[in-house]
Amino acid sequence: MEMQVVQRARETFLTGRSRPLEFRVQQLKSLQRMITDRQGEIATALKQDINRSQYDTPLLELIGLENEISLAVSKLAQWAAPRPVEKSLLTISDQVYIQPEPLGVVLIIGAWNYPWALTLQPLVGAIAAGTPPCSFFPLFLFFHSCVIFSVTLDCKLRGTGTGRTGSTTRTGDLMRIADTPLPGCSLILASPMRGAGMSCTGLIETETFSRYLFYLCDFGLCVHRRRITWGKFVNCGQTCIAPDYILCESSIQNRVVEGIRQTLLEFYGPDPKSSPDYGRIINQRHFNRVMALLDGYTAALGGQSDASQRYIAPTVVKDVPPHARLMQEEIFGPLLPIVTVSDVDDAIHFISEREKPLALYVFSSNKKVIKRMLAETTSGGVTVNDVMMHYTLNSLPFGGVGQSGTGRYHGKHTFDQFSHHRACLVKSLGMEGVNMPRYPPQNHQKARKVRMAMRTPLVDFSKGTYIWAVTASIVALGLLVALIVILILAAGVSCTCW
C-alpha cells in the first residue's frame, strides 16, 4: 500500500501537474480549509488518543500550521521567482540567476507526539516547492487521529499520498524510492536510514535520542519556573525539544525543586492525574521504558504512576550523576533530572564534551553569561530565558546539528530544503569581442586580458541595486540642474547691480 502511495506521487510529479504556482496555492488553501473546518475533531481525537487538553492542540499544533500556510500562500511567488546574482565583466550583458525548482517526490514520516504539526508543517513546504508529498502517520498513533488524517488529506489534496507506517524495513524501502525523505522525531530512524543506504537527494531529520541541554544560573523569578515547568511537562514530557535535564549550581538545587513544585500545583492542582490539562504516555511500551529509567532513584518530587492509565506524575530527580542511565538515554517523558555544576565554566564544559543538542535553553539575567553560553556552545537552536519558543517562529530554521539532526525546515527554509537551486546563465550572442581572448591561438596579451576580466570584482545587478542606482542618478541630475539654475540666477543679479 505504501509503495502505491509513493508511486502515485511520482506519477503526479512526472506529469508536471504539481509545478504551476496556481496549483500549489490551491492545494495550500485546501489544506488550510481542512484544518479550520476540522479543528474540533482533531482536538477531540488527540484527547481520546493521548489525553491532551483540547485547548493545547490549537496552541501547540494548529495555530502554527495555519500561520505556516498563510506565509507560504502570501510569499510563494517571491520564493519561487528567479534570484539574480552578481555578474562578472565576462557576463555583464547576460542573464545570471538561481532558479528554485522541485527536487522530486518527498517522503514525510510523521511523529506521534505532535502528529499534525510534525507531519503537516513539512507538507506545507513540500507543496509550496512543487514536490508531490507522501505523508505517513506513525504506527504508534491511535485510531481516532489516523482516521481523520487519512480521510481529510486524501479528500482535500490531489496528487499526494497518505498512509500509516511503523515497520523499519518498510520505512527503509520508502526512503530508497523517495527523492527527499523527511523523517519526523522517531527512535527508529537509525535503522531505516541504514536500510535505505542513504541514497537520497536530500534529507531533513531531527533525532530525539540526542540531548537537549538546559543551563540555569538563577531561579529567583516566578517567570523562570513557569516557563521551565510548562516546557518540560506539557504533552506529558513527550516533546522533542523539551528540556531533558537541568544544569544548576548545587546551592540553588533545592530552590529549583521547590519552585517546580509550586508551579505544578498552580498548573495541575494537588493531583495532576485528575487534571484535564495533564496528558498520558503514548502506549504501554513507552510507559514501561520511562518507568525503568527511574530504577535506583528516589524522586524529589512526584514519582507516582498508574500503568492502567499510562499515567506518570511530573517527576524531578536531584543529584543525578552525569554518567547515569537517566542521562544517557532519551527520556521523552515527565522525568526531569537535575545535574549540579560548580559554575558557568563547568556548565559549558559539560555541554561541549557531549553530542550537540537539538536545543539549548539559557536562563540568566547576566548578559555576560548569556554571551558566553551562545559563543562557547553549539546546538540546533537556542532560546534565552524561555523554552521551545524558537520553534514557533517560521522565520527561524528548525533542525539539529551533528547527531541531533540534518537539514532544516519552517517557512522559507522548508521551501529551500525541498527545492533544487539551479544555476542559470543565459548568454548573449553580442559583445563577442569580450570573449575573443579566451579562444586559441593563445598569447601573452590574450592571457593578460582574460586574467584581468576574470579578476574583476562581481557586480550586483539585482532589481534592488538597479532601482537605487536609477534613483541616485535622478537625484544627482536634479541637484546638478538646481546648481546650474542657482548659478544663472546669481549671475543675473550681479549683472543688474552693476
430 burial level (CB within 10 Å; 0-12, 13-18, 19+): exposed
Closest CA to 294 of 237, 251, 253: 237
SS3 461: coil
Measured on CA atoms in the order 191, 392, 32, 11, is the torsion positive or negative?
Answer: negative
Single-letter residue type at 473: S
Q: Dihedral (C-alpha) 360, 366, 367, 373: value to the nearest 10 degrees?
A: -30
278 burial level (CB within 10 Å; 0-12, 13-18, 19+): buried
Q: Dihedral (C-alpha) 407, 360, 244, 327: value to the nearest 10 degrees?
A: 90
What nine digits make up the cell of 350? 559539560
Backbone φ and ψ for 356, nearest 5 degrees, come out as -65, 130
d(CA 296, CA 298): 7
Single-letter residue type at 438: R
Map grid coordinates 494537588 to a residue.
Answer: 270
d(CA 84, CA 98): 6
Is the preceding peptide bond at 357 cis, omega within 30 degrees of 0? Answer: no
Name the active-site residue from 2, 61, 68, 205. 205
What nine digits make up the cell of 48? 481520546
What nine digits make up the cell of 30? 485546501
The yes-or-no answer on residue 205 being catalytic is yes
Contact 409, 417 (CB under 8 A): yes
The yes-or-no answer on residue 222 being catalytic is no
What nine digits make up the cell of 121? 508543517
Closest CA to 180 of 135, 238, 233: 135
Q: What residues contact residue 277 under an 8 Å CB cut-off, 6+ apart? A: 53, 55, 56, 267, 268
Q: What residues contact residue 431 under an 8 Å CB cut-off, 6+ apart? A: 92, 93
Q: What are the residue numbers of the active site?
A: 205, 240
